[in-house]
Structure 1
Amino acid sequence: MLRLLSSSEMVLSLPDEPAIWVTGELEYRSDRPYEVCLDICFLERTYSTWRFSRDLLFEGIKRSTGTGDVRVSPGCGRYRAPGREIDIELHGAHGKQCLLTANATVLRMWCEQVLNCVPQGTEEEHLDIGKEIAALMT
């Protein structure tokens, strides 16, 4: 199993609250080839963990995508020059939501590493179906 990590500063915006800088920790594991994991950390504590489609992240870097709990799009230049940030909208239970604004260069480089590790179309080759079924049965 190959594991790719990226940790970078992001801006967290909540409705009716001032924006704050947090650490976004991205993780990709080749044994879970269709997903990425995003931890939102502040003062060395993880406050929230989100798992979503890696393809959603890849597509969202180029154009707005997502219709569910996670939506990704090129940012409009709130904190960096236009084209230099990516917005990740997270919609939780009971209508709660937040917006993370990430550095586009850092995110693009990490996505390239993920694609070099497991190219699109080869994800299935990295799944251990037997292991997954056994985990469901125990």
Structure 2
Amino acid sequence: MSTVIEQSVQARMVASAPQMETLPAVLSYDRADPFAVRMAFPAPATLEGTEVSWEFSRELLAAGMEVPSGLGDVRIRPFGYDRTVLEFHAAEGIAMVHVRTADLRRFLRRAQQLVPCGHERRFLDLDRNLTELFGSR
């Protein structure tokens, strides 16, 4: 069984113009980092021309599909019947994207199969994490 899952999603960039641009994005979840979800946008979809990746908690993603959640750099909230808005706050500004809630639910179900919610600590390699933190001596 793979320890990493990835899922492509279509994100719609919210802009001041009336039309939203569709962007490809990839959600990923790694059992080695069981609390985190990553969302990556490819280089052509970013202002910098380099891939941009945001990391946030799986719990935040699940909660944000139901009620507005998050206070920091990533904020998530439901939008209408079938969309979820993800806001990414950075020094350069705020990027807001809409993603189909059904796609996010499917991704979270796959992550749940890999690491059940509430069992994340069982998949942490604390010895490896401490070695990385303090360096091998």
TM range (shorter): 0.7 to 0.9
How much has 1:128 moved relative to structure 2? 0.2
Change (3 A) 1:20 1:135: same
1:57 match: secondary structure: helix
TM-score scaled by length of structure 2: 0.86
When the two chains are superposed, the root-mean-square deviation of aligned CA atoms in Å is: 2.1
Is the contact between residue 7 and residue 23 of structure 1 (CA under 8 Å) also seen in structure 2?
Answer: yes
Cα distance in 1 for partners of 2:108, 2:50 equals 22
Q: TM-score, normalised by structure 1?
A: 0.85
Query: What residue in structure 1 maps to residue 132 of structure 2?
Result: 135
Contact in 2 for aligned 1:13/1:19 (Cα 8 Å): yes
Conserved? CA contact 2:10–2:22, under 8 Å: yes
Measured in 2, the distance between the counterparts of 1:21 and 1:121 equals: 34
Query: Which structure 2 residues correspond to residues 68-83 of structure 1 after superposition, within 5 A?
Result: 68-75=72-79, 82-83=80-81
Q: For 1:121 and 1:132, locate their aligned partners in 2 and report how far apart those are by CA, in whole Å.
A: 20
Runs of 4+ in 1 over 6 A off after TM superposition: none
**Structure 2 SS opposite 1:120:** coil
What secondary structure, in the 3-state scheme, does the structure 1 residue paired with 2:117 have? coil
Counterpart of 1:28? 29
Alignment counterpart, residue 112 of structure 2, candidates 111, 115, 136 = 115
Could you list the runs of 5+ residues in structure 2 that have no partner in the other structure? none
Q: Secondary structure at the match of 1:38?
A: strand
Matching residue within 85, 88, 99 for 2:83: 85
Question: By how many angstroms is 1:12 displaced?
Answer: 1.3
CA gap 1:43/1:128 in 2 versus in 1, 3 angstroms: same
Asked whether the equivalents of residues 35 and 52 of structure 1 are also in contact (C-alpha less than 8 Å), the reply is yes
Q: Cα deviation per residue 1:24-81 (whole Å; 9 max; x = unaligned)?
A: 1100000100100110126487531100111000111111111111111111xxxxxx
Indicate the percent of aligned positions where both proteins have the same amino acid: 24
Give 1:121 shift: 1.0
